[in-house]
Structure 1
């Protein structure tokens, strides 16, 4: 019986040793993400009606690889893409904001 208790005690000690946490240190800061998107270059489009021509020209001016038009109540993903330009429109199809991401 003592041998069974010793074996069980040893097994429990080994299992619990795996639960001891080690302090987590923060990783070193990363270099800023290089992005091609420049929303400032497309800022001229804010306040204009979002026609295909306006969106295409602003997209090109922003030098973004991807483009997304966000309309009111439209579901969008929340991931950040530094190569994407976002055009936020109001109900009247007027561009209210231009952002990279």
Structure 2
């Protein structure tokens, strides 16, 4: 069986395409999508203490803190113990009022 003269060229092109997909981006390349928020700073979010823990209040606190994510911690709720510098924790009382704001 005789190969087409373009077959070796096609194989080389496929190989280069596969290798290009495995290469890491250049240092100056910027990602297409970046998450909103980052490292948490609880200080700017302290103004929500005493407020009812609604979705809008939680989002407002998350934005003020600069955190990537936020969660509400209820009394007696089991929580993970690992520290996450991008997470804001809103501790609430039995009535759902925010009693403490901290990062982690």
Pick the TM interval, shorter chain.
Answer: 0.5 to 0.7
- Determine whether 1:48 maps to 2:26: no
**1:89 to partner: Cα distance:** 0.4
Number of matched pairs:
67
Normalised TM-score (structure 1): 0.63
Q: Deviations over 1:45-90 (max 9, x none)?
A: 0011111111111111111012111001110011011111000000
What RMSD over aligned residues (CA atoms) do the two structures have, in Å? 1.1
Instruction: Give TM-score, length-normalised by structure 2.
Output: 0.61
Instruction: Determine the structure 2 residue equivalent to 1:75.
Output: 78
Runs of 4+ in 1 over 3 A off after TM superposition: none
Runs of 5+ consecutive residues of structure 2 not aligned to the other structure: 1-37
- Structure 1 partner of 2:90: 87
Which runs of 5 or more residues in structure 1 are unaligned?
A: 1-34
Q: Whose Rg is larger?
A: 1
Residues 59 and 70 in structure 2, CA contact (< 8 A), matched pair in contact too: no
Rounded to whole Å, the distance in 2 between the matches of 1:36 and 1:79 is 15
Whole-Å Cα distance in 1 between the matches of residues 65 and 72 of structure 2? 14
